[in-house]
Amino acid sequence: MSALVSLDRWKRAGTISEAQHDAIAALVRRDRFSLFIELNALLYLGVLSLAAGAGWTIATYSARLGDIAVLVALTAVFGASLYYCFTRSAPYSHAKVEAPGMAFDYVLYLGCLIFASELGYVESRFHPFGADWNQSLLLAAAVFFALAYRFDNRFVLSLALSSLGAWFGVRASHFGQVLGGALRADAIAYGMVVAGAGVALQRAGIKRHFLEAYLHVAANVLFFTLLSGVFLRDDWPLYLVAILALAAAAIVLGVRYARFAFVVYGVVFGYAAVSTRLLWDVGSFSAGMAYFVVSGSLVILALVVLARRFGREE
């Protein structure tokens, strides 16, 4: 009697569950299964580990090795990464271009992290931008944007957007705008610039699939910024109206274009903003807990229903 027949008999007898039957049967039949996610996770962690190791080595041994040795080594790694990518990539296209291999995106990502380390080292040692050291962040963002679009890489695009965000933040502090609404205004401006740039490039037909990355960054920046304004004592009504309007837009457009993450953004941040103001003057701990138990359960139930709807549509 074969193993598969025995498994079927055990399942009918209730000795093993259907899930156990399917798992064991796949092993018996020697079915192939995908390790794509696991391999990508290992590659990503490996790249981060290499970059972190390079940074630690520079910080620890730069005085012993000397500036020339450090810069030559970093430049060599960055150059080798670019050579690998340029010699193996397909020609540039406005449309989506598949990577020639699993390691391709991670080699480029490693090269960009090394470039960022080298740029930081040059700035800390030689100060080429003088008092305007934040221009190095703008330079890094420009290089990352160029490479992200040339090689169709979302990892590098995230580096570009974060570098641009860091530049916005440093420029705000440079002008003495660290406190109060000035910093919030800069964060809102950054979020709107990112969203506007993503939409403009999408409409121009340039890497349309990058739009979602732009919108994720913009949504998180805008939601967190507006939520921080809800905690103000004087100007909170303006921020509350703004975050509820943004939450409604995120939910409606998320449902319309089948992007569940944006629905979650709208529901969670809208709930957080309303709850903040409702409980602002509530002094009773038990009342606050009762509110969160009831309202939180309703929000979770609503998200589960929406998630099932999205799952059926996909």
Residues 226 and 128 in one domain: no
Residues 131 and 203 in one domain: no
Q: Is the pLDDT of residue 282 over 50?
A: yes
Residues 289 and 187 in one domain: yes
98 inside domain: yes
Long-range contacts at 310-313 (CB < 8 A, ≥ 24 apart): 310/258, 310/260, 310/263, 313/258
Residue 304's domain spans which residues?
180-314
Confidence band of 31 (pLDDT split at 50, 70, 90):
low
Residues 191 and 242 in one domain: yes
311 inside domain: yes
Neighbours of 277 (CB within 10 A): 14
Residues 147 and 184 in one domain: no
Mean pLDDT for all residues in the chain:
86
188 inside domain: yes
Residue 132 pLDDT: 83
92: left (phi over 0), alpha (psi -120 to 50) or beta: beta
* Mean pLDDT calculated for residue range 260-277: 93
Among the three residues 175, 201, 231, which one is the final residue of a domain in this structure? Answer: 175
* Mean pLDDT calculated for residue range 83-107: 92
How far is 122 from 141, CA to CA, in rounded Å?
16
Of the ranges 100-104, 188-192, 279-283, which one carries the lowest mean pLDDT score?
279-283
pLDDT tens digits along 135-151: 899 999 999 999 999 99
Helix (H) or strand (E) segment spanning residue 273: helix 260-278
% of the chain exceeding 90 in pLDDT: 50
Residues 304 and 195 in one domain: yes
In degrees and rounded to multiples of 5, residue 284 shows phi and psi of -90, 120
249 inside domain: yes
164: left (phi over 0), alpha (psi -120 to 50) or beta: alpha
Q: Is 84 exposed, middle or buried (0-12, 13-18, 19+ CB in 10 A)?
A: middle
Q: Which of 119, 234, 120, 134 is nearest to 186 (CA)?
A: 134
**Domains identified in the chain, total number:** 2
Q: Which of 187, 204, 100, 222 is nearest to 152 (CA)?
A: 100
Among the three residues 175, 205, 234, which one is the final residue of a domain in this structure? Answer: 175
Q: Which two tokens stand for residue 29?
A: 């039949």
Residues 255 and 314 in one domain: yes
Residue 177 pLDDT: 47
Residues 90 and 142 in one domain: yes
